[in-house]
Structure 1
Amino acid sequence: MKRLPLLVLPLVLGACARPVTGDAPSAPPAAVESAAPRPALEAYRWQLRDARDARGRRLEALFADPARPLRLDFGAGRIAVANACNRIGGAYRLDRDRLRIERLQSTLMACADPKLGALDREIAGRLEAAPRFALAGGEPPTLTLTTPAGETLRFQGEATPETRYGGPGDTVFLEVAAQRQPCPHPLIRDMQCLRVRELQHDAQGLRRGAGEWAPLYQEIEGYAHQPGVRNVLRVKRYRVPDPPADAPDVAYVLDLVVESEIER
């Protein structure tokens, strides 16, 4: 069996502050936190739909993988960038009409595709430039970031699981077997289910037990199972309010792939 380790190494992407020489100017007024838009930002996941420079030309460098557009996630005063080469994130605040990020950090993994590898730098530089932001309602809502260079990045909002299910979910760890199994269902012929068991951990994060293997009569949102690969997943489990008849009353949403192993 071949293990696929998950490596996470910190890398600071933010630039260092320049030293002050000569007579320093008086300190600027304290920044005003724009609290009103924060709940709206954090209620959605923002997927990049369009990006143009000041002359209206498409910023192709931000669309390295058309199948996986860049996505911004906001939560608890932090911003995360998904679908770049690495996982990128940092603290943010809203200063009137500007998005200000103290410092971005990233995992340090090499990408075989040079365009994807450069994507980290392309998006990080624009986010760290304190772009102006504008929120527009509607279904779906839109978020527009305008950089000091006049570039315009437009994102489309998708409700987070917390928004869709009406509250925070429980964090659980599921081990997913390498192969699906037949699972009889009165409405679905020849149904094949994921085979899972829940893992228990102590306060230090060490595994201390596992439940019984059982078929999961639903999919895990955000997880694409690859036959022959066993995975340990960290997922969020949400209660589904008023589920339809014969539908599950809980939903599972992928948070992190903790461990993968190819079974031969």
Structure 2
Amino acid sequence: MNMRPSAGFLPLLLLAACTGGMSPDAAPAGAAPDPLAQIGRWALQGATDPGGRPIAAVLPGGRAVHALVFDGERVAVQGGCNHVGGRYRIEAGGRLRVLDMQSTLMACSDQALMDADAAVAGLLEGEATWRIAESYPEQLRLEHADGRSSRWVAERPAR
């Protein structure tokens, strides 16, 4: 009997060893599930500055194009010109902390979209309180200590 793994099986074996055999969706024992990651995608609806005025820069051409995807300890901003993302953690007291936002520097032909990428990244970075409205689809609201806020709507994957 040959006990050597086949060439196709070896990458799977190495992946299992590196991940400790846990699926990417598995949480450590006793850990509460991350409600932000469970949704899938959160589509931006709009944002306001500390004075309650709309932040037009996050809506290139007056339309919402960006979405958030929370996964593990990472948050990604999708829909723009650049790849934007950072780390996040949910803290006690309903706090969301987004750190180390980074972006590629693609030379897109749509300057408004590039500006919106930067505006959305700036809107997210730092600490905010968060809450999810019990509606369908769910609504996420982020409120920063300086008075900025943003609204996002759940985009659940088709089952």
The TM-score with structure 1 as length reference comes to: 0.44
**Partner in structure 2 of residue 110 of structure 1:** 107
Whichever residue aligns with residue 149 of structure 1, its letter is D
For residues 78 and 109 of structure 2, the distance between their equivalents in structure 1, rounded to whole angstroms, comes to: 18
Structure 2 gaps, min length 5:
1-30
| Residue in structure 1 matching 2:38, options 36, 43, 49 | 43
- Kept in 1, the 8 Å contact 2:143–2:149? The answer is yes
Q: Counterpart of 1:59?
A: 55
Report Cα offsets for 1:28-57 as digits up to 9, x if no partner: xxxxxxx6461x211221011121223221
Residue of structure 2 in register with 1:127 after alignment: 124
User: Would you say 1:143 and 2:140 are equivalent positions?
Assistant: yes
Bigger relative contact order, structure 1 or 2 (CA pairs below 8 A, ≥6 apart): 2
Q: 1:98-140, CA deviations, whole angstroms, 9 ceiling, x for partnerless residues?
A: 2112312222201222222212221112211212211112210
Aligned partners of 1:36 and 1:66: how far apart in 2?
38
Q: What SS does the aligned partner of 1:139 have? A: coil
Give the 5 Å matches for 1:67-86.
69-86=65-82
Deviations 1:139-159 (A, max 9, x none): 100100112320110100011
Distance 1:127 1:108, change over 3 A: same
Decide which structure has greater helix share. Answer: 2
Q: C-alpha separation between the residues in 2 aligned to 1:37 and 1:58?
A: 33
Separation in 2, partners of 1:102, 1:55: 25
Tell me, in whole angstroms, the C-alpha distance in 1 between the residues paired with 2:64 and 2:45. 11
Q: Name the counterpart of 2:96.
A: 99
Secondary structure of residue in 2 paired with 1:135: strand
Per residue, is there more strand in 1 or in 2?
Answer: 1
User: Matches of 2:133 and 2:141 in 1, distance apart?
Assistant: 8
Whole-Å separation in 2 of the counterparts to 1:68 and 1:153: 12
**RMSD, aligned CA:** 1.9
Q: TM-score, normalised by structure 2?
A: 0.70
User: Are the aligned partners of 1:47 and 1:71 in contact in 2 as well (CA < 8 Å)?
Assistant: yes
Written as runs of structure 1 = structure 2, the 5 A alignment for 1:11-30 is none
Aligned residue for 1:54, secondary structure, equals: coil
Instruction: Give the length in aligned residue pairs.
Output: 127
Looking at CA atoms only, which structure, 1 or 2, has the larger radius of gyration? Answer: 1
